[in-house]
């Protein structure tokens, strides 16, 4: 049956390759190979009665080899197409997996981004509060220093005016002037 299927596939090729000759013919067709003596004009293989069977075997092997080469070529084309399809399928699967991973992790990513934004806003607010607090503390410190300086100046002014007022009084001048002169005389004696 295998030989029959080989001949069925090769009959159009054989009919093109072989020419009719003017001797008596043996006609090989699919029905003849099966044991039925029926001729078909399209599917025939012509050989001389004097031909040797080995020629037919060699012809059969050659034609079957050509058929196998052609089938291998087509199988190679199909394999290339399948390889491209398999690679496309793998690429598509990888893209689908990455898209699914992004879809699954998207809420987590959004949450992390929100936390980062909140942290940045918090740090900015803390920095502005620290700056404002430092500014207010500096203002209070400056106010206190100004107040102390003013009080000191007023106290000195009050004391100075009081001393000048007392010093300008004649009785005070004489009393302390006499006291100072005696102190100086006492110092002179000791020397």
103-162, pLDDT tens digit by residue? Answer: 887 788 888 889 999 999 999 999 999 999 999 999 999 999 999 999 999 999 998 888
Pick from 4, 11, 84, 72: nearest CA to 42: 11
Give 162-182 pLDDT, tens digit per residue.
888 877 777 777 777 788 888
DSSP three-state, residue 49: coil
In percent, how much of the chain has pLDDT > 90? 35
In percent, how much of the chain has pLDDT > 70? 71
Is the pTM higher than 0.85? The answer reads no
DSSP three-state, residue 171: helix
Pick from 85, 83, 10, 17: nearest CA to 47: 17
- As to burial, measured by CB atoms within 10 angstroms (0-12 exposed, 13-18 middle, 19+ buried), residue 15 is middle
Rounded to 5 degrees, φ, ψ at 36 are -100, 135
CA atoms of 45 and 11, how far apart (whole Å): 7
CA atoms of 111 and 107, how far apart (whole Å): 6
Q: What is the pLDDT of residue 124?
A: 96
């Amino acid at each position: 049956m295998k030989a029959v299927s080989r001949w069925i596939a090769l009959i159009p090729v054989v009919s093109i390759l072989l020419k009719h000759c003017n001797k008596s013919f043996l006609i090989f067709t699919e029905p003849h190979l099966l044991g039925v003596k029926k001729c078909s004009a399209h599917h025939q293989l012509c050989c001389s009665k004097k031909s040797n069977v080995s020629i037919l075997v060699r012809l059969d092997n050659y034609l079957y080899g050509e058929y196998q080469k052609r089938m291998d070529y087509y199988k190679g084309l199909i394999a290339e197409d399948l390889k491209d399809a398999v690679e496309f399928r793998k690429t598509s699967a990888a893209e689908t997996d990455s898209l699914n991973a992004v879809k699954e992790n998207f809420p987590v990513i959004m949450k992390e981004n929100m936390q980062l934004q909140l942290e940045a806003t918090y740090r900015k607010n803390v920095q502005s509060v620290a700056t404002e607090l430092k500014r207010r503390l500096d203002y209070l410190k400056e106010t206190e220093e100004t107040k102390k300086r003013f009080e000191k100046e007023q106290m000195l002014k009050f004391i100075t005016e009081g001393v000048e007022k007392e010093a300008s009084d004649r009785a005070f001048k004489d009393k302390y002037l006499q006291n100072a002169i005696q102190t100086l005389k006492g110092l002179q004696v000791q020397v």
